[in-house]
Amino acid sequence: MRQGEGMRARPERSAAHVVLIGGDGIGPEVVEAAAQCLEEAANLAGREVRFTRAAGGGEAIDRGLGPMPDATIQACLHSDGVLLGAVGGPRWDRLPGALRPEAGLLELRRALGAFANIRPVRLFEGLEDATPLRPEVARGTDLVIVRELLGGLYYGARGRRDQDGRILAFDTMEYADVEIDRVARFAFELARKRRRKLCLVDKANILETSRLWRERVESLAGEYPDVECTYQYVDSCAMKLVQSPRSLDVLLCENTFGDILSDEAAVLAGSLGMLASASIGGPVGLYEPVHGTAPDIAGQGLANPIGAILSAALLARLDLQWDDVAAMIEEAVAATLQEGFRTRDLVAGRATEGAGGGAGTPAVRVVGTREMTAQILERLPLFASRTGDDARRTTRGDGGRDHGIPGTGGRR
């Protein structure tokens, strides 16, 4: 259930309409994988998903439609949820900023009113060797980054001007108190469902916007006496992420800091391809893997689809209220990884094909996008009988207490 200002609970439904925006690079490949898993899990739970495919990003630009066509935005607004792959790539980098694929993504987020971005970071069992950190440091990582999504540098005034014969470029970071309050309340509510620890990441020793963030969070903390609220500079937090990730629970960040830290956090999960995200706050949520378009491997069947598949699980849980469907997908992903299946990004420079197999550890089997998806689909029926409380128990990690999003053990 969504929590916080501007978010409302939705009744569970037996059928859903989901818009698919494949986008660019590997985006279409991973979105199709996610759609297959969502559809199959829904069918096993006796529900139905109808998909509408829409254009966005560079693909839409090439068709003369602009980076995010109005028809796509309207389709999203009239859906129950949106699954997006990734947008952008070198071929569009020379376009004016307002015409680039990334501008279309910002436009879509604004149209959907998606002010809060949730990025769960969890190291699945068996992937300890996929992270560059020592296994004893990475093992047990389970945190969530809450990123403000509609303010800051990405939406502020920007441009260039001539000044005394020099070219001066500028970007503006601005935040209003109400923008901070709404995402901070959401983060506090989320922390209440987890381990009750919230850390605001800022640069209050330098930036005026960060000082306002700290003032607003401090004022709200009194409403949540059961949540331990701490503050950390962004550079220090970047170090703590890789030194002691298990000590972190919910990280609250402004837009730019959240973008950077969540990409850094990918090393904790084994690969950027493992991370899902949900952008929520308005009437319809936007769900997408954290990775980019990876044009160097696009069309080769090498992409890791798990981030997109776990994003579909987030959609099922948060927008559709299908906890059992979400848990089915998450458990099938976990089982597939435990049996040694890996995409290339999870073994590069570390494990090798056929490694493992001793002391109860399955051999590593390197597979492509389609095979990884097929293995997850094959395991979905194993968890199809889990409904209601059983489904919610699959996502608990703190003595069986409920929390509401995957891989986040917490308490009420």
Report whether 268 contacts 96 (CB < 8 A): no
Give catalytic residues, as residue numbers. Answer: 154, 203, 235, 259, 263
Q: Which helix (H) or strand (E) holds 318?
A: helix 306-318
DSSP letter, residue 275? -
93 is in an annotated binding site: yes
Q: Which helix (H) or strand (E) holds 111?
A: helix 101-112
Q: Which two tokens stand for residue 138?
A: 């990475």
9 is in an annotated binding site: no
Positions of E strands within 362-408:
365-366
195 is in an annotated binding site: no
SS3 76: helix
322 is in an annotated binding site: no
Query: Position 177: which residue type?
Result: D
Tokens 């730019």: give the residue: 256
Report whether 80 contacts 17 (CB < 8 A): yes
235 is in an annotated binding site: yes
Q: What are the Cα distances from residue 122, in Å, to 42, 176, 234, 310, 372?
A: 24, 32, 21, 11, 19
269 is in an annotated binding site: no
261 is in an annotated binding site: no
56 is in an annotated binding site: no
370 is in an annotated binding site: no
162 is in an annotated binding site: no
100 is in an annotated binding site: yes
CA–CA separation, 86 and 209 (whole Å) = 29
Going by DSSP bridges, is the β-strand pair 250-253/341-342 parallel, antiparallel, or unpaired?
A: unpaired
259 is in an annotated binding site: yes
402 is in an annotated binding site: no
138 is in an annotated binding site: no
**1: Cα within 13 Å, side-chain hemisphere:** 12
Annotated binding site for NAD(+): 89-102
User: Where is the binding site for substrate, in residues?
Assistant: 109, 119, 147, 235
**Binding-site residues, please?**
89-102, 109, 119, 147, 235, 259, 263
Binding-site residue numbers for Mg(2+) are: 235, 259, 263
